[in-house]
Each structure stands twice: as C-alpha cells, then as structure tokens.
Structure 1
Amino acid sequence: MTTPAPALSPWRISPLLRRILLVNALPLALIVAALLYLDQYQHGLLTAEVTALREQARIYAGALAESAVQTNAANQPTINPDLARPLLYRLIEPTPNAQALIYGNDGQVIANSRIRQGPGGAIITEPLPSVHPRGDFARAVSFLYDQFLAFLPNPATETTGANGAAAGLGWQPSVREALRLTSAKPDHQAAPFIRRAPDGRLLVTVAEPIIRSKQSVGVVLLTREATEVDRAVFAIRVSILGLFVLALVLTVLLSAYLARTIATPLLRLAVSASRLREGRAALAEPVPPAIAARQDEIGTLARALADSAHALWARMDAIERFAADVAHEIKNPLSSIRSAIETIRRMDDPVRAARLFDIIAQDVQRLDRLISDISDSSRLDSEMSRTAMEPVDLAPILSALAEIHDATRKDNDPVLVLDAPASGLTIRGAESRLVQVLRNLIGNAVSFSPQNGKIWLRGRETGNTIEIAVEDEGPGIPDAKLNDVFDRFYSERPQTESFGSHSGLGLSISRQIIEAHRGRITAENRRNSTNTITGARFVIRIPRG
C-alpha cells in the first residue's frame, strides 16, 4: 500500500511552518514578557515623584511651623487653625492637582486644601482635579498590562522612602501611627502611599511632621496625581507593544519565507519521490531542476535523491539484464537435455544412447555450476555491504597460493613463479573473497597456458596502492574484448577444455569483489619487442589499508 503524496496548497500551514513560527516567536514573547514584568522604569519614576513630593511637603511643614504654630496655656506649641488654613491655601495654590491636609497631634483634621468657606459661610468641598484624564486607550493598555501581571509571580509593586520603609498598593496611611512615630522620632519619615483612584488616576501621598522647638505638633499629608509617571510609563508600554507587534509581523513574514524556502521544497521532493514509484517515466526528471540547482542543504538532498534514483534504475536495469542472461544461459543446457531425451526415446542403439546420456550428464553439471555461480553473484553485493573490512596482508596469501599450486601441480602443468615481498602488502578487505579472486585468475591462467609454461604471480606497492598481477604465456585476449571479458556469461575458453566446465561468471564476480574493495581490475596483453602478444595479464589495484 503506497502513501499518497502530500498536496501542495499555498494556504496550507505545514507542521514545519508551525514549528518555525513557534521557535521564532517564543524568544520574542519571552523578551517582551521580561520587559513588561521587570518594569524597573516605573519604579524609578515613582521614586523620583515621591522624593519631589516629600520635598514639597517639607516646605509646607516648615512654613506652617514658622507661621501657624502658637504656644497654648500649658506652654506647649500647637497649630492655630485660623492661621494654618489661609497659609495652606496659599501654599497649595501653585499646585492645582494636589491636596494637602493638616492633622493635629490628636489625629483631627485641622485644615483641608479642598474644603473652603463659600459665600454665606457655606462649606465647599472641591474634588482633586485631573490635569490629564486617562483616555479609553490608556485604560485598555493598563488593564491588559495589569491582567498580564496577574498571571506572573510578580511581588506587589513597592515604593521605597528615604528611610527604606516600603508600602504596597494596598497600604492605607495611618495618621495616628505617623503622629506616634514622629512624636518619638521627629526626624522619622512615614512611608509613601501610592494608589489608583476609581477613575484610574495614579495618586501619591506622603506624610511629613510639623516640628516646632524639636516637638511634633502635627502632620502634613500631601497628595498629588503622578501624571508624568503615568504618561511616561504609558508611552513605554505603547512603544514596547508597538515594537512587539512589528517584531511579530516580521517574525511571521520571516517564518513564512523560511517555510517557503524549506518546507515547500521538501514537499516537492516528497512528491518527486512518490512519482519515482510510478515507473521509468519519472526518471527523466526525478527532482525539479530548480531545487537541484540550489547551493544549500536542500539542494544537496535533491541531488542525492536524483543520484539515488538514477542508481536505483541502473540497478534495476542490471537486474533485468541479469535475469534475461540467466534465462538465456539456463535455456541452452535445458534445450540440449530435452533434445537428448527426445532422441533417446526414438533410438534402440545402446551405444548412441550412452553417448546421449553423457551429454545430459555434462549439461546437468553445467547447470549445477551455472546456478551456483548465479547464486554467488546475486548475493555478493549484499554480502559485501555487511562484511566488516579488516587489515589483510596479501603477501602471505600470494605465497600460500604459490605453494598450493606447486603441491597440486600435475605433469606438464604450468609453473607458478612468485614475485612478491614476504610482507607489507596490507589492505582493508575480506580475506576469503580476495582469495577467491586470486584463485580464479590463477585458474584462468592455467587454462590458457601451454604445457610446462610459466605463470607469474606478482605483488608490489606503488604509492598508496597495492598492485597484484597474474600473467601467463597463453594466446592473450583480443584487443576488442579486453573489457568484455568481465561481462556476465562471457565465455571464450580454450578448445582443449571440456564444454560447460565454466559458467562465464568468474571474472564478473571478481570485478564485483574488487570494486567492493574500492579497487579496479583490468585485463591487458603481454607483448614482446616486436609487439607480438605473448600472453595475458590481469592487474588488481586496491588502496592501502
């Protein structure tokens, strides 16, 4: 069951694109979260606002201590409300967005800058005005920001006074506590109070003692709207959000570009891989040329896929040719056997019948050798790919093969002459397969050599290559057939050799083995000074191990 090729849609968000978006956007989101979460800029502005407001409160307290404090009957300094109220109104007049309150030592309000006496003695209470009321957009940004902070492990926002005391947004000023502390320590500073009004305004309140003759006679509470702090923080938040939106848009565009240059080509390669299953028609263009021309990793992948496709089809062609050759080679002895059997059925001459039985036996022997060699050739590639290559010294192997030949040599057989060092011909390979190649070449040389002729088995080192040569004194090889001798089922045997004793796969198998060792095997003719062929030479060249 084949898997259908993925559809290529311009509106399709691939998993790779989602991953690219996530990877690109996550660091950006973390950076923005850190900027919003830390928000040390706001703390610095609030600290500056508190410092300035405290200095203003100290001026009010000093002016009231000098102009509105009198000595009572007990010779104790007290605040005179009739003097304190008009003075407080004059002090607060340049600051319309502030409110000042004066408390006595008993905690009662002596004067309030927002409570005035109108015509006819009526009391008029003026609310604290908003110099820069917050708009809906500012409210929305602040609301989103506060909601965002609610999900983070953020400690309560704190503002630190000059003495190091801290007050959170939920802290409520205690006038009695401030009076108690200033009575015990006149130079004590109460912590500031920062809060949001119901309309969203940021209000800051400080308390400063009124000191006369080193005695605390009351407290001034000064409240002012931190307009500049709100505006500056709002501008920073808007800038951060604007940069975030811009960066997010750029991230999406860059992610889409990366997906178009990565995900889309990969999908097209997947489609090409699916088309390769359709047959030879897909081989003409296994991958899109535009992708194969890219000078990056995807182009490398595309070219590797194209090379793999060509190699696959070449292997399939080789398998088809091999199967056709096998069928042809097997058909010949089978046809001979069938003809002999049909002839035997129609004859009564036992002598001729025995001769036909000998032909059948030879054909069966030929089939047996042919099938064995075909089996060896067909499994050779997979076997060599699994075989572990180990260091092999060919010099002792050549010596052992020469000794075996001398020990099994019959009368009039060729003599094997060894011309190789005792050691040092080391390569990486499979020893059993290399022995198979050498024995095959020596066997071929014996078959073609004249009686009592010579066969030379040479071995030497040439640079980074080990060279092995097998030479004989036979008739040589036709120049037009020097490459054909390595083809499957090529057979050109001596006339003195019995028919069917060779399958024609020996040299083909030898070439497969040598190429699996990253080497080459070639055939050439030996010639004398008159350029006459004096024998054949097979040369093996394998890189040193």
Structure 2
Amino acid sequence: MPDVGVLQDQQHAPVPPRRKRWVSPLLRRILLLNVLPPALLAAAMLYLDQYQNGLLAAEVEALRTQARIYAGAIAEAGTRMQDDRAVLVPEAVRPLLRRLVDPSPNTQARLFDNTGLVIADSRVREGSGGAVVTEPLPPPEPRGAFSITIAGLYDRLLRLLPRGGQSDVEVDIAPDAPSFDWQPNLGPDRREELRLALEGGVTPYIRRTADGRLLVSVAEPARRGNQSVGIVLLTREAREVDQRLFEIRASVLGIFVISLILTVLLSLYLAQTLANPIMQLAGAAAAMRQGEGRGGSVPPAVLAREDEIGILARDLQSAARALWARIDTNERFAADVAHELRNPLTSVRSAIETLRRIENPDQQRRLLAIIAEDAVRMDRLIADISDSSRVDAELSRTVAVPVDISPILSTLAELHNATRKEEEPEVVLEAPAGPLVVRGVEGRLVQVMRNLLGNALSFSPKHGRVWVRARPTGAMVEVVVEDEGPGIPEAKLEGIFERFYSERPSGEHFGKHSGLGLSISRQIVEGLRGRIAAENRRDAEGKVTGARFIIRLPVA
C-alpha cells in the first residue's frame, strides 16, 4: 500500500507552468494534413502542360491549314508562266495576300520567293506618293492586375516544377527578338530553314514576346503543279489559348481558395472539438495534482461527450476519484494503526510504571506477564498491518495465473482433521471430483481460505462441524464456508470486513486476533476480480444457526 506521506508530497508538488501557445501543435498538424491535399491538387491543376500543348497543337493545325489555303491561292492567282516555269508576280500577290489576311486581324503573312527574299508582307502597303507604310500591330488585350498576378505566379511555378520529356509543341518563353518583330527570320542567310520550308518540313515556331503575346508561326510552300514558287510564312497571336488557360487557372485558384477557407474552418472545428478538450483534460489533471476539485475538475461538457474523448474524460475522473479514495483510506488506516498500537503501548507503559512501585513478587510476575502478552499482541498486530499494506502492491505487480483450488481446500481440510483434538469441530469438504481452476495467486488464495476456515472454526461449538462447499457457477467458481456458531449481527454483515473490527466468541483470550483477517481476505479477493460476502444460516423457522461466507472467483 502506498505511503501516505509520499502521496501527500506528490499531491502538493509544484506543477511547472505551461507555456501558452497561440497555435497548438495538434492544430498545426491538422492544418498541415488538411491543407496539403488541396494544395497538391491546385499545383497539379496549374501544371497544365498537356492541356496547353493540346490547345497549341490545335492552333498550329488550324494555322497550317490556313497557310496552305493562302499558298494555294497565291500559286494559282499570283503567278505567271515564263519559259515553262511559274514565277511570282509581286504586283498581283501583294494585294491578294493583304486581302486574304484581312479577316484575321491578329495574323501576319509574308511571302518569300525560292531564294528567301520577301516578296509581300500583309503589314506593308504602299501609301500615297509611293511611300511604304507599315501597319502597327493590333494592341494586346487589356489585362487586369489579377490576371497579371496569376500569370506571373504561374510562370514562376512553371520554373520551379520539374519538366517532363520533350513534347510535340515547345514554347520559347524568353525570346531575344523584340516585341515588334512577329516572325522568325527566314531570309537567304537561313539556307537550311529555307530548304526545309520549300520541302514543307519546317517545325512550327511558338514563342512569347516581351509584352506577353503568344505567337505561332508556320511555313508552307506555294506550289503550282509540282513546282515550288515561294514560301508563305504565317504568324498569328494565339489569344484564345491564353484566354482559355487563364480561365482554367482562375477557376482552379478560385476552387483552391474556397477549399482552403473550408479546410481552415474545418481544421479550427477539429481543433475546437479535439485539441481544446485535450487541453482541458490536461488542465484538469494538473488541478487534481494540485489538490483542487476532489470530486473531479473535468468540465461537464467534456464528460458528457459520447466519443473517445468523453471516455477518456470519464476514465480520468474515475481514476482521480479512486486515487482520492485511496488517499482517504490510507489516512484512515494510518489513524486506525495509531489507535490500535496505542492501546497495547499504554498497557505496557502502565504496567512498567506500576512495576517500579511494587515489591510483591507475585504482582511483579503478573505485570511482567501482561507486558509479554502486550508485546506479543503488538508483534501480531504489526505483522498483520504489514501484510495488509503489501496486499494491494503485490496483487498489482503479480500476474494472475490459473490455480486449481480443489487441492488447496482438500489439503486444508485434511490437515485440520488430522491434527484436531477430539472436542474441536470437524471440517467437511463438499466439492466435485474434477478440478476447479480460477485465475489468481496461489499463496494469497491459500491465505484467504485459511482465514475463513480459521474464523469459522473459532466460532463453532465443540464437536461441531464446518462445511466447505465448492462448485462452478457459470463464469465463476463459488466457495462457501459455513459454521454452526452464533452467527453475525445483522448490522455487522458488511462491517466485519473493515479493518480492526473484532467480534470474538465469548471466552476467547483478548488480543489473540488483530481484526485484519477478513479485511485482508476482501482485499485479496477483490484484487483478483472476485467477490466476498457474509450472511447468516437459518433454519426452517428463521432462527440463526451459524454464519456463511461466500467467495466467487472468475474461472481461468
């Protein structure tokens, strides 16, 4: 049994103050776990390379079809036969090229001859007096601050994210060319590109200018029959691609913002329902340790919960009450021990003081006998107190094992019957032939059976009988000890199990028992998850014919 002083010292030990945190670690974990999935989803959705490549591929295909149409029209209407060869007529192809491009304001077309010289440009026309006028580029569509911010964040994100393998469409996002130069160079100095253009094998060129325009360029040869007469270089600003990508990114970011707000709110709700109650339980435990709230300082709202936290709160409340009950029991036990030891010590002191004043040898011998009896009584009392103090600690450390109580009962009965005197009561054992296995500690079970058997024998009359009956009853094994003594006062059927209670038969020498036997027996039985009770035996007329003690232990 724990020492009372140690428990009281632990009870009043200072508790280190907790540092107040604005965001608890549990709340941080909840936020991280809840925010991470939508953040990864947003990053994955913003990483729209495949979708962008698909849009650009469709744009390239449409522009290539348009370039083929322009090339076919120019080859048919802008050429003449010279020496069985078709040659371009600049005066015819220039207005034709501008007329073809007019329906597409965001498109520029150039016509090169087979040597790479520019024959016509849709943005160049002749003004009055033969002056050459270059038409300005259509202004880019106005973009708000939100659009620019999203585009900038997206571009930074693309630079951080790992890029996959080479795709069919590559975008040059950092060109060296100035923003007013829409088209790539396809002059006489670029002979390889010129040869590929005449053969129809130039790869589409996609780039983004300094002012944010996304440009797509394709080159298609103009053929009349099987003869190449020139190259049509068509460049268009892919505004629809940027617009669609922006709409998708804005939608994804909007969904992410909404998901983030909902996630934070749900995380705060989880923290309110999980982290805060746990902190309240920690505060309640600290308050209990400081000695506050003996009845329990756990908030009623936490106790009323039906989830795992409510179970934990109720278990904490029960543990605190059990601890306080143990402390109160220890205090009462200490007071009872002091009281029980004071009686024999007072008797010894009185006998010693009297012994000093008398000289009669007979009286001195009687006083010495009293001192010796009180010493034996104190020794027995101290031994029983020590045993009672060790029971709880021993049972808490010892693992219960299967124990067959049949040989224990038969050995105790045979030992008494073999050594009893003729007038002493007889022990009658009634038990089944098979084993009666319970979960317990063998040494302590022997102590319980010996205490009950000795108690019954001490109250039985001469030539009487004590019955010991054992039988299985479902999940329990029942052991009953009956005697033919005077019985137990009805008001004391429960009180006889209290410490230092002693109700001895008439004629028994005072101080022979400490009053702890039944109390220790109850400690052992309840420590083994069993039950012990006392009642009176009665005859058909209701007259008390003896006492009966009933023990129930769980089957192994």
Same fold (TM over 0.5): yes
Q: Is the 8 A contact 1:6 1:270 kept in 2?
A: no
1:472 to 461, 473, 483: 483
1:144 to 140, 153, 161: 153
CA distance in 2, matches of 1:378, 1:215: 115
Give the structure 1 partner of residue 401 of structure 2.
390
Q: Is the 8 A contact 2:288 2:296 kept in 1?
A: no
Q: Is the 8 A contact 2:502 2:515 kept in 1?
A: yes
Deviations 1:175-220 (A, max 9, x none): 643432355xx4x443211111111111111111212222333221
Give the structure 2 partner of residue 130 of structure 1.
139
Q: Is the 8 A contact 1:157 1:168 kept in 2?
A: no
Give the structure 1 partner of residue 247 of structure 2.
235
Cα gap change, 1:315/1:228 in structure 2, threshold over 3 Å: closer, same or farther? same
2:264 to 252, 258, 262: 252
Q: Is the 8 A contact 1:134 1:200 kept in 2?
A: no
1:179 to 2:194 alignment: yes
1:303 to 295, 314, 329: 314
Cα gap change, 1:432/1:371 in structure 2, threshold over 3 Å: closer, same or farther? same
Q: How does 1:213-224 map to 2 (within 5 A)?
A: 213-224=225-236
Q: Is the 8 A contact 2:30 2:267 kept in 1?
A: yes
Deviation of 1:382 (Å) = 1.8
Give the structure 2 partner of residue 48 of structure 1.
58
Give the structure 2 partner of residue 331 of structure 1.
342
Give the structure 2 partner of residue 82 of structure 1.
91
Deviation of 1:284 (Å) = 4.0
2:289 to 277, 292, 313: 277
Q: Secondary structure at the match of 2:47?
A: helix
Q: Secondary structure at the match of 1:444?
A: helix
Identity %: 58
Q: Is the 8 A contact 1:472 1:535 kept in 2?
A: yes
Deviation of 1:131 (Å) = 5.4
Cα gap change, 1:217/1:86 in structure 2, threshold over 3 Å: closer, same or farther? same
CA distance in 2, matches of 1:397, 1:173: 109
Letter in 2 for 1:220: V
Q: Is the 8 A contact 1:8 1:267 kept in 2?
A: no
In structure 1, list runs of 5 or more residues that go unmatched. 161-165
CA distance in 2, matches of 1:156, 1:434: 78
Q: Is the 8 A contact 1:81 1:111 kept in 2?
A: yes
Give the structure 1 partner of residue 115 of structure 2.
106
Q: How does 1:125-524 map to 2 (within 5 A)?
A: 125-130=134-139, 132-155=141-164, 158-160=167-169, 176-181=191-196, 183=198, 186=199, 188-279=200-291, 282-524=293-535
Q: Which is further off, 170-179 or 322-331?
A: 170-179
Letter in 1 for 2:222: I
Q: Which is further off, 35-44 or 318-327?
A: 35-44
Deviations 1:494-542 (A, max 9, x none): 2333322211111001011111122111111122223222221111112
* TM-score in terms of structure 2 length: 0.91
Cα gap change, 1:136/1:483 in structure 2, threshold over 3 Å: closer, same or farther? closer
Q: Is the 8 A contact 2:296 2:320 kept in 1?
A: no
Q: Is the 8 A contact 1:402 1:418 kept in 2?
A: yes
CA distance in 1, matches of 2:341, 2:185: 109
Cα gap change, 1:219/1:156 in structure 2, threshold over 3 Å: closer, same or farther? farther
CA distance in 1, matches of 2:333, 2:363: 36
Letter in 1 for 2:67: A
Q: Secondary structure at the match of 2:66?
A: helix
* TM-score in terms of structure 1 length: 0.92
CA distance in 2, matches of 1:240, 1:167: 23
Q: Secondary structure at the match of 1:216?
A: strand
Q: Is the 8 A contact 1:5 1:274 kept in 2?
A: no
CA distance in 1, matches of 2:120, 2:135: 13
Deviations 1:223-244 (A, max 9, x none): 1111111111111111111221
CA distance in 1, matches of 2:244, 2:335: 87
Letter in 1 for 2:544: I
Letter in 1 for 2:158: L
Q: Is the 8 A contact 2:296 2:321 kept in 1?
A: no
Letter in 2 for 1:258: L
1:58 to 2:73 alignment: no
Deviations 1:233-276 (A, max 9, x none): 11111111122112212222222222222222222222222221
Q: Is the 8 A contact 1:167 1:192 kept in 2?
A: no
CA distance in 2, matches of 1:121, 1:90: 20
Letter in 1 for 2:264: V
Q: Is the 8 A contact 1:286 1:309 kept in 2?
A: no
Cα gap change, 1:3/1:215 in structure 2, threshold over 3 Å: closer, same or farther? farther
Letter in 1 for 2:401: E
Deviation of 1:411 (Å) = 3.2
CA distance in 1, matches of 2:384, 2:185: 104
Q: Is the 8 A contact 2:480 2:549 kept in 1?
A: yes
Q: Secondary structure at the match of 1:179?
A: helix
Give the structure 2 partner of residue 67 of structure 1.
77
CA distance in 1, matches of 2:451, 2:75: 123
Q: Is the 8 A contact 1:406 1:415 kept in 2?
A: yes
Q: Is the 8 A contact 2:108 2:236 kept in 1?
A: yes
Cα gap change, 1:535/1:516 in structure 2, threshold over 3 Å: closer, same or farther? same
Deviation of 1:306 (Å) = 1.6
Letter in 2 for 1:15: P
In structure 2, list runs of 5 or more residues that go unmatched. 1-12, 176-183
Deviation of 1:5 (Å) = 5.3
Deviation of 1:143 (Å) = 1.0
Cα gap change, 1:45/1:542 in structure 2, threshold over 3 Å: closer, same or farther? same
Cα gap change, 1:76/1:136 in structure 2, threshold over 3 Å: closer, same or farther? farther
Query: Aligned-pair RMSD on alpha carbons?
Result: 2.2
Cα gap change, 1:478/1:248 in structure 2, threshold over 3 Å: closer, same or farther? same
Q: Which is further off, 51-60 or 402-411?
A: 402-411
CA distance in 1, matches of 2:513, 2:85: 136
Q: Secondary structure at the match of 1:264?
A: helix
CA distance in 2, matches of 1:255, 1:134: 36
Deviation of 1:344 (Å) = 0.9
CA distance in 2, matches of 1:437, 1:376: 13
Deviations 1:76-114 (A, max 9, x none): 433332322121111111111110011222222221111
